[in-house]
A and B are shown apart, each in its own frame.
Chain A
Amino acid sequence: QSVLTQPPSASGTPGQRVTISCSGSSSNIGSDYVYWYQHLPGSAPKLLIYSNNQRPSGVPDRFSGSKSGTSASLAISGLRSEDEAEYYCAAWDDSLSGVLFGGGTKLTVL
């Protein structure tokens, strides 16, 4: 099935490490790179991780990505209040011949 599954919510306290998972299939994550986007309320989404685990210039090294088989994860260490946002994974899907986004994970910093 061509979907990317993320937990709807995640939370942590300042300084903690949190991870957000993204589960897919052989037609998407299993055969292409995974990208992660941060979406703050009222702003445009921002590229956070590209090609599974690479950070664009300007993205703090507190953010890291990984991929194994048909699943991927985004890890945020040293959690800060400004990290409170919605996070989306994305990947090309060969079956759909299109880009799939995960459903999004709302991160709350307690």
Chain B
Amino acid sequence: QVQLVQSGVEVRKPGASVKVSCKASGYNFITSGISWVRQAPGQGLEWMGWIGLYNGHTDYAQKFQERVTMTTDTSTSTIYMELRSLRSDDTAVYYCASVKAGALSWFDPWGQGTLVTVSS
């Protein structure tokens, strides 16, 4: 059974960067990668991109192409999402989610979420 545990609350000033972690356990060949999805206050879910667990291949949403980097540390089974040049509208809960092989919209399970607040 795949389990995803994310890092804790982060507070940053505009222009700074944040790196959120997602530690995975119990995954097998069915899990091909990890996606990151965020939800800003009062808004819906927004896909940011995904990273392949076994080859490190990444696909980023066009909106975040210039500011996001997703990486994996295979030694600790931890996936990272770094977002740079933060703005106030990046304030959101950031989720990692397990992606099923061959189905990039299949997110199951999800991490518990990490609140990132961007404020001066």
Give chain A's interface residues, CB within 8 Å of chain B.
32-33, 35, 37, 39, 44-47, 50-51, 56, 86, 88, 90-92, 96-104
Contact = CB atoms under 8 A, between A and B. Distances in A.
A90 B44 contact: no
Contacts of A97: 59, 62
Interface band, chain B? 20 to 34
A46 B95 CA distance: 12
A44 B112 CA distance: 6
Given A44-B112, A47-B108, A98 B103 contact: no
B42 to A, nearest CB: 11
Contacts, number: 67
| 4 shortest interchain CB distances as A-B pairs | A44-B110, A47-B108, A99-B47, A104-B44
B45 A92 contact: no
B108 A104 contact: no
Given A32-B105, A99-B104, A37 B62 contact: no
Nearest to B35: A99
Contact of A88 (B44, B103, B113): B44
B106 A98 contact: no
Nearest to B100: A50
A44 B111 contact: yes
B45 A39 contact: yes
B66 interface: no
B46 interface: yes
Contacts of A35: 105-107
